[in-house]
Structure 1
Amino acid sequence: MTQASVLVVVPTTGGPLVLRGLTARPGMPTSAAFAVGDYRPLPWSGDYARLAAEGGPLSRLPGITAGPYELRLSGSFDAGRSWEVPVCLAHGLVARGFRLTPEPSEADLVVWATGAVDLDLAVLAADYALLDKIERSRDLMTEAARADLYVLLPSGPEAAQAERIFRALPRARPSAILPSASIPAALAALVRGTLPTVATAGRRRRAPPAVAAGLVIATALVAILMALDGHPTKERPEAPPALAEVDAVKARPATLPDGGAPPPGVEVEELVAPAGSSCRRVAFGADPPERRAVPSEASGRLRASRLASDLCGLAFRLVRPGARLAVDPALAAAALPPVRLPDGAQAYFLREGSRQNLVYVVQALSEAGVPSASDRLEHALRR
Structure 2
Amino acid sequence: MTGLSVLVVIPTTRGPLRLRALNPRPGLPAPAAFADGDYRPLPWSADYARLCAPGGPLARLDGPRTPHELRLSGSFDAGRSWEAPVCLAHGLAARGHRLAAEPAQADLILWATGAVDLDLAVLPGDYALLDKIERSRALLAEAPDVPLAVLLPEGVERASAEAAFRAFERAAAPRVLPSGSIWEALEALTRPTEAIRRDPPREPSRRLWRLALPAGAVTAAGLIALTTLGARQAALVDPDVPPTTGTASAEPAPALPPSTAETSLALRVEELRAPPGSSCRRVAFGADPPERRPVARDDGDRLVPSRLVPELCGLAFATAPGLRLAIGPELRAAALPPVRLADGAQGYFLREGGRQNLVYAVQALPEAKASPEAGALAPGGRLVHALMR
TM-score range, shorter chain: 0.5 to 0.7
The one of 310, 315, 320 aligned to 2:318 = 315
| Alpha-carbon distance in structure 2 between the residues aligned to 1:131 and 1:356 | 42
So what's the TM-score if we normalise by structure 1? 0.58
> Which amino acid is 1:10 matched to?
I
**Could you tell which deviates more after superposition, 332-341 or 283-292?**
283-292
Deviation for aligned residue 1:195: 4.0
SS of the equivalent of 2:345 reads strand
CA contact (8 A) 1:33 1:48 kept: no
3-state SS in 2 of match to 1:47: helix
How far residue 23 of structure 1 moved from its aligned partner, in angstroms, is 1.4
Residue of structure 2 in register with 1:9 after alignment: 9
Q: Within 2, Cα distance between the matches of 1:160 and 1:93?
A: 26
1:204 aligns with 2:200: no
Counting aligned pairs with the same residue, the percent is: 37
Task: Give the gaps of 5 or more residues in structure 2.
Answer: 202-239, 245-264, 276-282, 308-313
CA contact (8 A) 2:88 2:186 kept: no
Q: What letter corresponds to residue 149 of structure 1 in structure 2?
A: L
Change (3 A) 1:312 1:328: closer
Cα RMSD over matched residues?
Answer: 4.7
Q: SS of the counterpart of 2:318?
A: strand
Cα separation, partners in 2 of 1:357 and 1:56, compared to 1, 3 Å: farther
Aligned position for 1:244: 241
Q: Secondary structure at the match of 1:192?
A: helix
Cα distance, 1:89 vs structure 2: 2.0
How many equivalent residue pairs?
294
Instruction: Report the equivalent of 1:145.
Output: 144
- What's the CA shift string for 1:250-278, capped at 9, x where partnerless? xxxxxxxxxxxxxxxxx8441557xxxx7
Cα pair distance change 1:99/1:288, threshold 3 Å: same
Give the distance between the partners of 1:340 and 1:48, measured in 2 at CA.
Answer: 10
Measured after TM superposition, the shift of residue 54 of structure 1 is 4.3
| CA drift at 1:8 | 0.2
- Which consecutive unaligned segments of at least 5 residues does structure 1 have? 209-242, 248-266, 295-302, 320-324, 366-370
Query: Equivalences for 1:21-170 in 2 at 5 Å?
Result: 21-36=21-36, 38-44=37-43, 46-47=45-46, 50-51=49-50, 54-55=53-54, 57=56, 59-73=58-72, 75-77=73-75, 79-81=77-79, 82-116=81-115, 128-154=127-153, 161-169=160-168
Query: 1:351 corresponds to which letter in structure 2?
Result: F
Aligned with 1:61: secondary structure? helix
Secondary structure of 1:134's partner? helix
CA–CA separation in structure 1 for the residues paired with 2:363 and 2:168: 40
Structure-1 residue corresponding to 2:189: 194
- 1:115: Cα distance to partner? 4.4
TM-score (norm 2): 0.57
